[in-house]
Structure 1
Amino acid sequence: MAHRFDIRVYYEDTDLAGIVYYANYLKFIERARTEWVRGLGIDQAKLKAEEGIVFAVRRVEANYLSPARFDDVLTVETEIGELTGARITLSQVVKRDGERLFEAMVMLVALTEAGRPARLPADVRRRMG
C-alpha cells in the first residue's frame, strides 16, 4: 500500500508562468519520503547517532507529465519497489485530484557518515519490507 502525503503549492513554489518550478517536485517527494520513514517508526537522527548510518539519493528518474499551479493541493504517493541490504528503490507519484502530474523512481543508499556504503540494520529493513 502506498504512503500518502498531502502538500499545498505556495507562491514560492511557482515560476513566472505560475506553475510549479520543476526542481520543487524533488523537494515535495523528499518531504514525502521523510514522512514515510517517520511513519514507519524510523528515527533518522537516532539511526545516524547510534548506527552511524544515513540515507542518500543515488539516482532519480523523473517524468513531468502535467503542471501543478499555485494553491493546488497535491498528494505524493510513495511505494517501495526493491529493498536490498543497502539499497531502497521507491516509486513516487505526485497527483492532483487523482491526475498524475509527476512521477519518479528514486534509489536510496545507506551510507556511513564517512560516505561509505553500509548495510541497513535488520530492524530498518523489516519496517520497510
Structure 2
Amino acid sequence: MTHVFPVRVYYEDTDLAGIVYYANYLRFIERARTEWARAAGIDQGRLREEQGLVFAVRRVEADYLSPARFDDLLEVRTEVEEASGARMVLAQEVRRGEERVFAARVTLVALGADGRPRRIPSRLREAGG
C-alpha cells in the first residue's frame, strides 16, 4: 500500500529563483514518514518515552527530477520497499499531479536509548500506509 501526504509549497520553501530549495524536499519526506507511521498506529513520542525506541535515517538517495514552485500542491507517496528486524527501506516520491518532481530511497534504523539497534515494531515493518 502507498501512504499519501499532501504538501503545499509556501514562499518560505523557495529560493531566490522561486523554486523549492533542494533541502526542503528532505523536510517534506520527513513529515510524510511521520504521518505514515501515525497511520500505521505508531506514536513515535510514546514509543520513545515507553520503550526508548527512536528511528534514525541511515542513508538517503535522492533524485531531483523537476522543480516545484511557490503554491504548488504536491503529494508525498511513501511505500515500504524492504524491511528486516532493525532496518527498513522506504521509497518516497514527491508528485505534482502525475509528474514526479523528486524521488528518494530512505534507509531507517531503529535505535534504543543506548544507541544500539532495536527491532522495528511489526506494525511498521508491515505497513504500506
TM-score range relative to shorter protein: over 0.9
CA separation in 1, counterparts of 2:123 and 2:79?
19
Residue 61 of structure 2 aligns with which residue?
61
Residue 16 of structure 2 aligns with which residue?
16
Residue 105 of structure 2 aligns with which residue?
105
Q: How large is the RMSD of aligned CA atoms in angstroms? A: 1.3
- Which stretch of structure 1 is more off in the superposition, 76-85 or 43-52? 43-52
CA separation in 2, counterparts of 1:123 and 1:95?
26
Q: Could you tell me how far 1:125 is from its partner in structure 2?
A: 3.6
CA separation in 1, counterparts of 2:63 and 2:9?
19
CA separation in 2, counterparts of 1:124 and 1:51?
15
Q: How does 1:62-77 map to 2 (within 5 A)?
A: 62-77=62-77
CA separation in 1, counterparts of 2:38 and 2:49?
16
Alpha-carbon spacing, 1:72–1:84, altered in 2? closer, same or farther (3 Å): same
1:48 and 2:43 aligned:
no
Alpha-carbon spacing, 1:49–1:39, altered in 2? closer, same or farther (3 Å): same
Q: Could you tell me how far 1:60 is from its partner in structure 2?
A: 0.1
Residue 82 of structure 2 aligns with which residue?
82
Alpha-carbon spacing, 1:39–1:123, altered in 2? closer, same or farther (3 Å): closer
Unpaired runs of at least 5, structure 2: none
Aligned residue for 1:25, secondary structure, equals helix
CA separation in 2, counterparts of 1:81 and 1:2?
11
Indicate conservation of the 8 Å contact 2:57/2:106, yes or no. yes
Identity %: 66
Deviation digits for residues 31-55 of structure 1 (CA, Å, limit 9, x no counterpart):
0000000011111111111111100
Give TM-score, length-normalised by structure 2: 0.94
CA separation in 2, counterparts of 1:101 and 1:121?
31
Indicate conservation of the 8 Å contact 2:37/2:124, yes or no. no
Give TM-score, length-normalised by structure 1: 0.94
The amino acid across from 2:45 in the alignment is A
